[in-house]
Amino acid sequence: MRMHWIAAALASACVFSLSTGVFAADLRLEQEPTTAAAVIYNYQPLRLNAAGRAQFGNTLYCTAQERLYGRDGKIYRLADASPLSDSGQFRAKIQLLVNAPAVKTLKLAKGEQALPERTSFVLTLADDWLYRDVTVKFQVTYTAVTDTTLSVLPAGTAGSAEEMAVAAGEQIEVAYTLRIDDEALFAGNYDDYELRPARYEQVILPSDPDFPAGPEEVILTPEKNQDVDLTWVDVGKLVAQVNFGPGSLESAPKLSARWEDTGLAGERTYGGCYARVFVGSPQPDGGEVTLVLTNPFLTEKGEETVPHSQVNLYEIRDGQPVEITRQARYGTDSDGNGAFLLSTSSLGSYVLTDQPLK
C-alpha cells in the first residue's frame, strides 16, 4: 500500500512547502518515489585526449522516461521531461546508489548534448571500469523552484496529454538504473539523437502500481539454473525459460525484448505488446523442448493486469504474426508466476499482446 505523501514526508523528517496558488490543471502531483531504467543514446568509442591522441572513450549519454504518481492514484509517464532539466523550474540533486566507484562524473546533459523533451545525463566512467559489465544506479531528486505544470500521458494506455500541477517546493524522486555492457555499447544499439520513442520505454516500475512489469527494449543473456535448464532473467524476474526433454541445445541464444527485432511494421501499444525474440532461432537437437514464457501482464506482485485468458500469443513466421495461443497451455514458471508453456522444436520470435494484432 502506497503511503500518502504527507505521511512519507513526516517519516523522512522532510518538510515540503506547498503553494496555495491556484492551478489551471486539475491533476496534481503525488510526491511518491518511482524508478526508471536509463538507456544509452550516444557513445563515442574513440576520442582525442588533450595531447591530440586517440584513446577509448569513457563518456556515455543516457536517457529515460520518468513516471509520476498523480493524486488520483494513477501513474503517468512524462510526455515532455525537459522542465526537469530547466533550472528555472526545477533544482536537481544527483546521488549515486550502486557502483559509485565506477563513476567519475555524472550530471544532467544540457543544450545540444541533451535529447529534446527528455531528461538526459552525461556519465563518465572511471578508467578502470570502461569495459567491465556494470550496473550503475543513481537517484535524482527534482525540487520545483516555482509553481509549474508537467505534460503527462496515462501510463500503459493510449490517451491525450494533460497537465499535472507541481507546487513550488514539491519533489519528484526517481531512482535510475543504467546497465553498461557490450550490448549497450555496441553501435548498432543506438543512433546519435535519432532513437525512436520506443527505446525510451524500458522502465523498472515501482512494486505496487497496477501496471504490467514485463521487460521491454532489452537483450537478455541466458543463464543456467539448478532447477531449469536455461533461464533469461531481467532485474531478478524470470522472462523465459527452456526445459529440455528429449531435445537439447548446443548453444544458448540471447533473448531480445526489442519490438524492432520482431520485424513487424507499425507502432505497438506501449505496455500492451511484448516481444520475445530468440536470436538466431536455434533448433534443439533430439526433439522438442518446453518453452516457458512468463506472462508479461503481471505486476511485480504477480497479479494479472489483463486476464491471462485474454492474452494473445503469436509466433512470427516469414515476417508475419501467426496466432498460436491455443497451442500453449497456461501454467507457471519455476518462480511460480503465471506463464505460457509451449512444446516446440525451434525457438523463434514471439509476441504477447493484450489486444489481437491487426
Amino acid (one-letter) located at 45: P
Range of the domain at 313: 219-353
Residue 254 lies in a domain: yes
SS3 63: strand
> Is 250 found in the same domain as 183?
no
So what's the pLDDT on residue 357?
86
Q: Would you say 292 and 231 are in contact if contact means Cβ atoms under 8 Å apart?
A: no
Burial of 35 (0-12, 13-18, 19+ CB in 10 A): buried
> Is 34 found in the same domain as 179?
yes
> Is 49 found in the same domain as 166?
yes
Max Cα separation, the chain?
71
Quickly tell me which residue has 530468440 as its cell: 278
- CATH of residue 275's domain is 2.60.220
Cα 167 to Cα 145: distance, rounded to the nearest angstrom = 8
**Bridge partners of residue 292, in order along the sequence:** 241, 341
**Bridge partners of residue 289, in order along the sequence:** 244, 344
So what's the pLDDT on residue 320?
92
So what's the pLDDT on residue 5?
32
> Is 337 found in the same domain as 245?
yes
Residue 96 lies in a domain: yes
So what's the pLDDT on residue 12?
35
Residue 29 lies in a domain: yes
Q: Would you say 101 and 176 are in contact if contact means Cβ atoms under 8 Å apart?
A: no
> Is 35 found in the same domain as 147?
yes
Predicted TM-score (pTM) of the model is 0.51
Q: Would you say 102 and 125 are in contact if contact means Cβ atoms under 8 Å apart?
A: yes
So what's the pLDDT on residue 148?
96
Burial of 346 (0-12, 13-18, 19+ CB in 10 A): middle
> Is 160 found in the same domain as 13?
yes
> Is 283 found in the same domain as 225?
yes
Residue 343 lies in a domain: yes
Q: How many CA atoms lie within 13 A of 210 on its CB side?
A: 7
Q: Would you say 64 and 39 are in contact if contact means Cβ atoms under 8 Å apart?
A: yes
Cα 240 to Cα 198: distance, rounded to the nearest angstrom = 22
> Is 167 found in the same domain as 239?
no
Give the total residue count for the chain: 358
> Is 248 found in the same domain as 181?
no
Q: Would you say 172 and 89 are in contact if contact means Cβ atoms under 8 Å apart?
A: no
Cα 143 to Cα 102: distance, rounded to the nearest angstrom = 27
Q: Would you say 223 and 231 are in contact if contact means Cβ atoms under 8 Å apart?
A: yes
Closest to 216 measured CA to CA, from 80, 79, 353: 353
Residue 78 lies in a domain: yes
Residue 213 lies in a domain: no
- C-alpha distance from residue 334 to each of 227, 240, 241, 242, 288 (Å): 8, 10, 8, 10, 19
> Is 278 found in the same domain as 334?
yes
So what's the pLDDT on residue 174?
93
Quickly tell me which residue has 514526508 as its cell: 9
Task: State the Cα torsion 11-17-22-28 to the nearest 10°.
Answer: -30
Residue 127 lies in a domain: yes
So what's the pLDDT on residue 207?
38
So what's the pLDDT on residue 200?
35
Q: What is the pLDDT along the chain (358 residues), one digit of tens a residue?
A: 333 332 333 233 333 333 334 455 689 999 989 888 888 888 766 555 566 565 566 888 899 888 899 998 888 889 999 999 999 999 999 999 988 988 999 999 988 788 888 899 999 888 767 667 788 999 999 999 999 999 998 876 567 889 999 999 999 999 998 888 766 665 444 443 333 333 333 333 333 344 455 666 667 777 776 656 788 887 677 899 988 876 666 667 888 888 888 888 765 665 678 899 998 888 877 778 899 999 998 877 788 888 999 999 999 999 999 999 999 999 999 889 999 999 998 899 999 998 888 7
Give the helix/strand (H/E) hosting 90.
strand 90-98
> Is 148 found in the same domain as 181?
yes
Query: CA 157, 26, 205: angle at the middle one, nearest 5?
Result: 40
Residue 101 lies in a domain: yes
How far apart, in Å, do the first and last CA atoms of the chain sit? 38
> Is 260 found in the same domain as 137?
no
Domain boundary among 172, 200, 228: 200
The number of distinct structural domains making up the chain is: 2
Task: State the Cα torsion 266-281-289-287 to the nearest 10°.
Answer: 130
* Buried/exposed code over 310-332 (b: 16+ C-beta within 10 A; e: otherwise): ebbbbbbeeeebeebbeebeeee
Here the cell at position 302 is 504477480
